[in-house]
Structure 1
Amino acid sequence: MVGGHAIRGTRIGAGPSGEAERGEAAPRRRISYWCANGHESRPSFAVDAETPGEWECPRCGLPAGQDEQNPPAAPRVEPYKSHLAYVRERRSDADGEAILAEALDRIRRRREP
């Protein structure tokens, strides 16, 4: 073989050609799913397989359901919160002032001779 490819004429990942070599394909059915943006996706499932209630929309990534008139709502995305934001949710400004005063008193007592 001079300057050529060993697998000339086939593509990478190509399986054996013909149904006889691969066996019979399982009977399939297509199920429609709709997302909140109105996109329809129709994945195929084996006839005897249990179909999921929700499917991820391949176009926008939102959850999609089988009821076109009532698709699942988009998940609520919480913005990133810092540690300080969580502390402020749990404590009031007065609590923060009291804790700060207590900590400063402790430091001052340690520094006194």
Structure 2
Amino acid sequence: MEWDCPRCGLPGGLDPENPPEPLRNEPYKTHLAYVKERRTDEEGEALLDEALGTLRARRGTAVVAD
């Protein structure tokens, strides 16, 4: 049986010889951090170029690459 200590918030248990592990507190990640975990820099550049090309084509300001 485990519970959260009302004083410190850490997990507690009945076995003093084998206490529960403290929870790992991972920092908040932004959407961009999750995307960077899944994509390489090259993939990110390719996606950005594609999105910018689509946006420029919609606006009529497409730039011709050399």
Q: Normalising by the residue count of structure 2, what TM-score does the alignment of the two structures yield?
A: 0.75
| 2:50 maps to 1:80 | no
Look at both structures and tell me which one has the larger radius of gyration over its CA atoms: 1
Name which structure has the greater RCO, CA cutoff 8 Å, separation 6+. 1
| 2:3 maps to 1:55 | yes
- Name the aligned partner's letter for residue 80 of structure 1: Y
Q: What do residues 12-47 of structure 1 show as CA deviations (whole Å, max 9, x unaligned)?
A: xxxxxxxxxxxxxxxxxxxxxxxxxxxxxxxxxxxx
**SS of alignment partner, residue 3 of structure 2:** strand
Q: CA deviation at 1:102?
A: 1.1
The percent of aligned pairs where both chains have the same amino acid is: 62
Structure 1 unmatched runs, 5+: 1-52
Q: Normalising by the residue count of structure 1, what TM-score does the alignment of the two structures yield?
A: 0.47
User: What is the root-mean-square deviation of aligned Cα atoms in Å?
Assistant: 1.6
Measured in 2, the distance between the counterparts of 1:103 and 1:58 equals: 50
1:23-62 equivalences under 5 Å are 53-62=1-10
